[in-house]
Structure 1
Amino acid sequence: MTAANSLPDPPSQDKVNLAIAELVLYAVLFIPVIWITWKHGKAGMTCWPIFVSYFPLKFVSDAYQIAKRNEPEIPNVVIIMTSAGSIACLSLTIIGMIYEVNMILPLPPKRWVEKIILGVTHLAVTAGITLSTYGGAPKAGAPGGVLSQTLNQVGTCLILFVMLFGVGWWLWSTGRRVMGMKTHPNFQVASNLHLAACAAFPFQLVRLGYALTYSFTPYSSLDPFSGTFATRLVLMFGMQMIVAIVVTVGGWFSIGAVPNSPPGDRSQEFSNLTESRL
């Protein structure tokens, strides 16, 4: 009886209603995202399929919370994995958007640099998510209430560091390239896609910053599973929904890129465009 009484309460009705609203909103967004993914084709392979995979994670997470609304609000594998996957998908989607912008514009001679940046950022984000998910797994009686507070903190720091400095720098440098290609037929498409990545970027940073804050100061009100409704509404649902909407709108208005020159001709195309502006 004592053990039963020590269990946390079921989620509040506000949290259940939020899960229902989230499920409906993502279902509405999912349809155009499928079409956007198809229209972007090969150029968007590092971005839009990852974004598509974000939606099933949210569907499973929300449906599970709704189905278990009368049970104690205890962290479980489903919620932990879908939460980590959601953060990873949105982070990798923004990275993929930047890469696509570079792919639909003439590339400079050292075009392999873009692929290296893509690979390094993907690897770092994946490693950070893995560390934070494993280290942040709940464990009763452990410091901070998690399996390994150190791994959790290292993982969240790694993700935020890579996104803030690595991806932030790439976003800035790509913006400079876009503005230097105003005569290129893909300028408007690339500009719209880059603008969407810029708009989504700070909201994803806030979401990552919240995860980092909680890893160092695990106050009960900030708990991503059993914290306050305000925490879930603003720092989790709000940030991720804004990113998803901005990315969807950006994807919609960046359809129609003209195929670039064959890889062997891109260096020459870049040189010709550079000379024409001098």
Structure 2
Amino acid sequence: MAALTTAELAIYAILIIPTLFILFKHGKPGLLGWIYLAVFCSLRIIGGAMFLSHSSAANIVSNIGLSPLLLSTAGILHEAQHYRKKTSKLKMIKILLFHIVVTGGIAILATGLSGLQSDSPTPDDQSKVKAGLGILTASWVLLVIQTLYIMFLDGFAPLDNRHLLVSLIIGLTFIGIRVVYTLVALTSNNPDLNPTTDTLAIRVVLSFLPELIAAILYIIAGILTRNLRSEDKRQRKPSEPSYTLA
């Protein structure tokens, strides 16, 4: 497992660089999406370092790292929506509520996991883990529904906008694999799926690769759409008056 953790740490240390570049290029409309992707990369780096130093909190950091990826997805979806229909107050309230729900879910999950790893775990700790995972799973389902609605039922969009939406749909598929794996792993008694006792193959296929593929897809889409904000400003800029000689 140490080799996988070392590779993960190195990969995300590299990926955070283009993520910060994308954050700069996309600016305010993409602020939430790309900041949370940078947070996700940072948590994977921190979690890897903690695992290599044999910290007991490494498993908690690994599992809560899923929430920034969900929040990044929501933020990128908001950016794609922004260039179709300008953000209204109602949409901002919905985005805020979604972030509160996901943050609350991960807080409940982290509290439960911390309790389970303590010297005196209680049944209430397991209930908190299940509740937190339930919230994260429901959040993923909502993101899938909203992304599909925007892409297929809300009209067509400029090509750059579709780059973001396609990356979200494919990325959400892989995030779903990670969500389901986490849900089963933390709520079942199967040692082969337990995050602390699972096999290398299971961890690579169901945890490491789905997250990595989703992150890379988002980064590729972010680079392809790096000029989206400047192009949008150019299109909305009033044209200069033209003068002709009489």
- TM-score category (smaller protein): 0.7 to 0.9
TM-score where L is the length of structure 2: 0.85
Match of 2:244 in 1: none
1:44-123 alignment runs, 5 A limit: 44-68=30-54, 76-77=56-57, 79-107=58-86, 111-123=88-100
CA deviation vs aligned residue, 1:21-77 (integer Å, no higher than 9, x gap): 112222222221111111001111111111111222111221232344xxxxxx722
**Range with greater deviation from structure 2 (127-136 or 194-203):** 127-136
CA deviation vs aligned residue, 1:109-156 (integer Å, no higher than 9, x gap): xx333223212221111111111111123245646xx76111111110
Q: Distance in 2 between matches of 1:229 and 1:255?
A: 36
What secondary structure, in the 3-state scheme, does the structure 1 residue paired with 2:192 have? helix
The residue type equivalent to 1:129 in the other structure is I
Judged with a 3 Å threshold, the aligned counterparts in structure 2 of structure 1 residues 159 and 55 are, in CA distance, closer, same or farther, namely same
The alpha carbon displacement at 1:198 in A equals 0.8
Q: Could you tell me whether the CA contact under 8 Å between 1:136 and 1:147 is conserved in 2?
A: no
Match of 1:259 in 2: 232
Q: Could you tell me whether the CA contact under 8 Å between 1:51 and 1:90 is conserved in 2?
A: yes
The alpha carbon displacement at 1:215 in A equals 2.9
**Range with greater deviation from structure 2 (189-198 or 207-216):** 207-216
Q: Distance in 2 between matches of 1:67 and 1:131?
A: 26
1:1-278 alignment runs, 5 A limit: 15-68=1-54, 76-77=56-57, 79-107=58-86, 111-137=88-114, 138-139=117-118, 142=121, 148-164=125-141, 166-176=142-152, 179-181=155-157, 187-257=158-228, 258-259=231-232
Q: Distance in 2 between matches of 1:107 and 1:43?
A: 10
The residue type equivalent to 1:259 in the other structure is D
Q: Distance in 2 between matches of 1:222 and 1:178?
A: 39
The residue type equivalent to 2:112 in the other structure is G
RMSD of aligned Cα (Å): 2.4
Q: Could you tell me whether the CA contact under 8 Å between 1:178 and 1:191 is conserved in 2?
A: no
Q: Distance in 2 between matches of 1:155 and 1:180?
A: 36
Runs of 5+ consecutive residues of structure 1 not aligned to the other structure: 1-14, 69-74, 182-186, 266-278
The alpha carbon displacement at 1:107 in A equals 3.4
Q: Could you tell me whether the CA contact under 8 Å between 1:53 and 1:89 is conserved in 2?
A: yes
Q: Distance in 1 between matches of 2:5 and 2:62?
A: 13
Q: Could you tell me whether the CA contact under 8 Å between 1:20 and 1:62 is conserved in 2?
A: yes
**Range with greater deviation from structure 2 (86-95 or 252-261):** 252-261
**Range with greater deviation from structure 2 (243-252 or 167-176):** 167-176
Match of 1:11 in 2: none
Q: Could you tell me whether the CA contact under 8 Å between 1:139 and 1:147 is conserved in 2?
A: no
Q: Distance in 2 between matches of 1:40 and 1:105?
A: 15
TM-score where L is the length of structure 1: 0.76
Q: Distance in 2 between matches of 1:232 and 1:211?
A: 11
Judged with a 3 Å threshold, the aligned counterparts in structure 2 of structure 1 residues 63 and 136 are, in CA distance, closer, same or farther, namely closer
The alpha carbon displacement at 1:236 in A equals 1.5
Q: Could you tell me whether the CA contact under 8 Å between 1:178 and 1:190 is conserved in 2?
A: no
Q: Distance in 2 between matches of 1:141 and 1:174?
A: 47
Q: Could you tell me whether the CA contact under 8 Å between 1:16 and 1:66 is conserved in 2?
A: yes
Q: Distance in 1 between matches of 2:126 and 2:60?
A: 18
Q: Provide the identity percentage.
A: 21
Aligned length: 232
